[in-house]
């Protein structure tokens, strides 16, 4: 049985970037642009537009605006609602670009299901976390959630580039942790009632 390690790494890279986009939509694109403009990264044809200093500046501004919008307690929940479809698109584009060398049917199937799906799942879980933080602290602790999401987005993006398979394992543990947190939180609230 032949295992295509390049395909596995491409899928792992796309999944990692998609999950990072679920935390912060523009961070993976900014990292791609920075590493393309200043570093050795050669982008495939679908992402060549990121290899441009003007795009880099625009993405940096978008990341700053995204960070600031998650720092205001009432605006962060509104941003979460608006960000769900954008996360789906970003996750799909990132997975499609990472797997651009495979059969188009498989590429776009993975892009929509794994890329878009994982970005939306992460965005939904982080939005639920922020909603819970707003409900329990009046939004005072939301900036801690926002900082954690930003750190996760940057960390997962960097890990996806350096060690994509390890990145997928880290993502699995992260998602398992979020799931267990919500499971026990909901179970605790259900038992109280």
pLDDT digits (tens, 9 = 90+) for 106-119: 899 999 999 999 99
The residue-averaged pLDDT of 124-147 equals 86
**The pLDDT of residue 190:** 66
The angle at the Cα of 150, spanning 139 to 37, to the nearest 5 degrees, equals 145
pTM for the whole structure: 0.85
Closest CA to 7 of 106, 85, 118, 112: 106
The count of domains in the chain is 1
pLDDT digits (tens, 9 = 90+) for 141-188: 888 889 999 999 999 998 888 887 777 788 788 778 877 877 777 777
- C-alpha pair distances (Å), 32 with each of 2, 37, 122, 150, 179: 31, 9, 20, 16, 29
> Which domain covers residue 73, as residue numbers?
5-192
């Amino acid at each position: 049985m032949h295992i295509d390690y390049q395909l596995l790494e491409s899928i792992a890279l796309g999944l990692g970037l998609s999950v990072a986009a679920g935390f912060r939509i523009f961070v993976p694109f900014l990292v791609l642009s920075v590493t393309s403009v200043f570093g050795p990264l050669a982008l495939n044809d679908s992402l060549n537009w990121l290899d441009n200093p003007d795009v880099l500046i625009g993405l940096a501004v978008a990341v700053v605006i995204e960070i600031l919008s998650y720092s205001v307690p009432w605006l962060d929940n509104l941003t979460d609602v608006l960000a769900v479809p954008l996360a789906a698109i970003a996750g799909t584009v990132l997975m499609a670009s990472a797997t651009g060398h495979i059969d188009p049917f498989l590429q776009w199937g993975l892009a929509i299901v794994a890329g878009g799906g994982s970005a939306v799942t992460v965005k939904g879980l982080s939005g639920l976390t922020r909603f819970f933080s707003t409900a329990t602290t009046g939004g005072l602790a939301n900036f801690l959630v926002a900082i954690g999401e930003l750190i996760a987005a940057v960390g997962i993006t960097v890990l996806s580039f350096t060690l994509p398979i390890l990145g997928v394992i880290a993502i699995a543990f992260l998602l398992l942790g979020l799931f267990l947190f919500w499971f026990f939180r909901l179970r605790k609230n259900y038992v109280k009632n």
